[in-house]
């Protein structure tokens, strides 16, 4: 277990849990928290983890950015473009490039960049107390953290514009209806659902999952011919893996496969 007062990282049986740990700030992220999250995601690419669970302490997932300005002078002198390019963007890119699935466990508000951390994940499980919002407009900002990339691809341009232009905060049920989350559960059932899904993914063939995620990322921006060729090339890595041999053997022997991730 590694712990900083702002981010807690634990790992057990291939499942790594990354927890925003600023409950007094509703897990809003400051510069240090963003950097710690980036480091935790990057380490996950080469460590023994098989699946990542991203969540928050207290009653919120992440309430967005912690704007720490002491006055107008601070705002005018702050290079926001450099900050986003150097901290926010690398974290989102690392999440999408990570060859392991990320489960967002969303038990409370996920707004601003917090909403976009959730959207940058691979599977979103939400409690019925979760709330989602692209609230940047409420303080005169446009979205960052990949919101303009992820949201219209899920809900379409017109709904994405409406959600961003109004800053409306929607319920977990509304988010599910729009296709923003995979499942909505009562808060008391959320952890069991997350644990069961994480265990299932951790036991799955890691190379196949990695190539699947890479293929979906590629397919979002590719034409059909390019997507087909990407699949053909990356299928070779799966075909040569021990997991494929184990999967075929288990099928022929009518037993449950035991994948090693190799």
Q: Which CATH number covers residue 219?
A: 1.10.12
Quick one: 127 and 239 in the same domain?
A: no
Is 26 within the bounds of a domain? yes
Model pLDDT, residue 3: 53
Quick one: 215 and 115 in the same domain?
A: no
Give the residue from 223, 204, 8 showing the smallest Cα distance to 99: 204
pLDDT one digit per residue (tens) for the chain, 262 residues: 455 699 999 999 999 999 999 999 999 999 999 999 999 999 999 999 999 999 999 999 999 999 775 566 677 777 889 989 999 999 999 999 999 999 999 999 999 999 999 999 999 999 999 999 999 999 899 999 999 999 999 999 999 999 999 999 999 999 999 999 999 999 999 999 999 999 999 999 999 999 999 999 999 988 889 988 888 888 888 888 888 888 888 888 989 888 887 7
Is 262 within the bounds of a domain? no
Long-range Cβ pairs for the range 135-144 (8 Å, 24+): 135/64, 135/111, 135/167, 135/169, 136/112, 136/164, 136/167, 137/164, 137/165, 137/166, 137/167, 138/167, 139/67, 143/116, 144/84, 144/88, 144/113, 144/116
Q: Which two tokens stand for residue 65?
A: 């950015």
pLDDT in tens, 135-157: 999 989 999 999 999 999 999 99
Triad 120, 86, 43: Cα angle to 5°: 60
Spatial CB neighbours of 204, under 8 Å, sequence gap ≥ 6: 50, 259
Q: Which two tokens stand for residue 144?
A: 């960052």
Count of domains for the chain: 2
Q: What does R_g of the chain's alpha carbons equal in angstroms?
A: 19
Is 157 within the bounds of a domain? yes
Spatial CB neighbours of 92, under 8 Å, sequence gap ≥ 6: 116, 117, 120, 145, 146
Quick one: 155 and 116 in the same domain?
A: yes
What distance in Å separates the CA atoms of residue 244 and residue 227, rounded to the nearest whole number?
A: 22
Is 20 within the bounds of a domain? yes
Which domain-ending residue is among 187, 202, 217? 202
Quick one: 168 and 210 in the same domain?
A: no
Quick one: 141 and 218 in the same domain?
A: no
Is 131 within the bounds of a domain? yes
Quick one: 132 and 220 in the same domain?
A: no
Give the residue from 125, 117, 114 showing the smallest Cα distance to 172: 125
CA 216 to chain centre: 14
pTM for the complete prediction? 0.91
Quick one: 217 and 163 in the same domain?
A: no
Is 261 within the bounds of a domain? no
Give the residue from 114, 119, 131, 100 showing the smallest Cα distance to 198: 100
Model pLDDT, residue 12: 96
User: What is the H or E stretch that residue 173 is in?
Assistant: helix 172-177
What distance in Å separates the CA atoms of residue 44 and residue 16, rounded to the nearest whole number?
A: 8
Quick one: 96 and 219 in the same domain?
A: no
Task: Work out whether the CA dihedral 146, 149, 151, 157 comes out positive or negative.
Answer: positive
Quick one: 139 and 235 in the same domain?
A: no
User: What is the H or E stretch that residue 8 is in?
Assistant: strand 7-12
- Angular region, 64: left φ>0, alpha ψ -120 to 50, beta rest: left
- Give backbone dihedrals phi and psi of 16, rounded to 5 degrees, phi first: -100, 130
Give me the domain span that covers residue 216.
206-252
Spatial CB neighbours of 110, under 8 Å, sequence gap ≥ 6: 60, 61, 62, 104, 117, 118, 130, 131, 132, 133
Is 161 within the bounds of a domain? yes
User: Do the beta carbons of residue 1 and residue 9 sit within 8 Å?
Assistant: yes
Q: Which CATH number covers residue 44?
A: 3.90.226.10
Quick one: 54 and 145 in the same domain?
A: yes
Quick one: 171 and 214 in the same domain?
A: no
Is 260 within the bounds of a domain? no
Model pLDDT, residue 70: 55
Quick one: 194 and 248 in the same domain?
A: no
């Amino acid at each position: 277990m590694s712990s900083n007062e702002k981010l807690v990282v634990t790992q057990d049986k291939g499942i790594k849990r990354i927890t925003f740990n600023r409950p007094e700030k509703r897990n809003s992220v400051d510069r240090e928290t963003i950097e710690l999250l980036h480091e935790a995601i990057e380490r996950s690419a080469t460590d023994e983890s098989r699946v990542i669970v991203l969540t928050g302490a207290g009653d919120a997932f992440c309430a967005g950015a912690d704007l720490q300005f002491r006055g107008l002078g601070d705002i005018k002198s702050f290079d926001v473009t450099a900050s986003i390019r150097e901290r926010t963007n690398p974290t989102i890119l690392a999440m999408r490039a990570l060859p392991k699935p990320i489960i967002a466990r969303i038990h409370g508000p996920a707004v601003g960049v917090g909403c976009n951390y959730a959207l940058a994940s691979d599977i979103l499980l939400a409690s019925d107390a979760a709330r989602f919002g692209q609230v940047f407009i409420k303080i005169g900002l446009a979205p960052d953290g990949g919101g303009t990339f992820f949201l219209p691809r899920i809900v379409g341009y017109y709904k994405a514009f409406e959600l961003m232009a109004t800053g409306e905060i929607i319920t977990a049920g509304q988010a599910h209806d729009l296709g923003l989350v995979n499942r909505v559960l009562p808060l008391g059932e959320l952890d069991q659902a997350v644990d069961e899904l994480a265990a299932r993914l951790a036991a799955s063939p890691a190379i196949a999952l990695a190539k699947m995620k890479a293929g979906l990322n590629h397919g979002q921006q590719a034409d059909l011919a390019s997507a087909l060729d990407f699949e053909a090339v990356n299928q070779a890595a799966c075909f040569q893996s021990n997991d494929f041999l184990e999967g075929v053997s288990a099928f022929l022997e009518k037993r449950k496969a035991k994948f090693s991730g190799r």
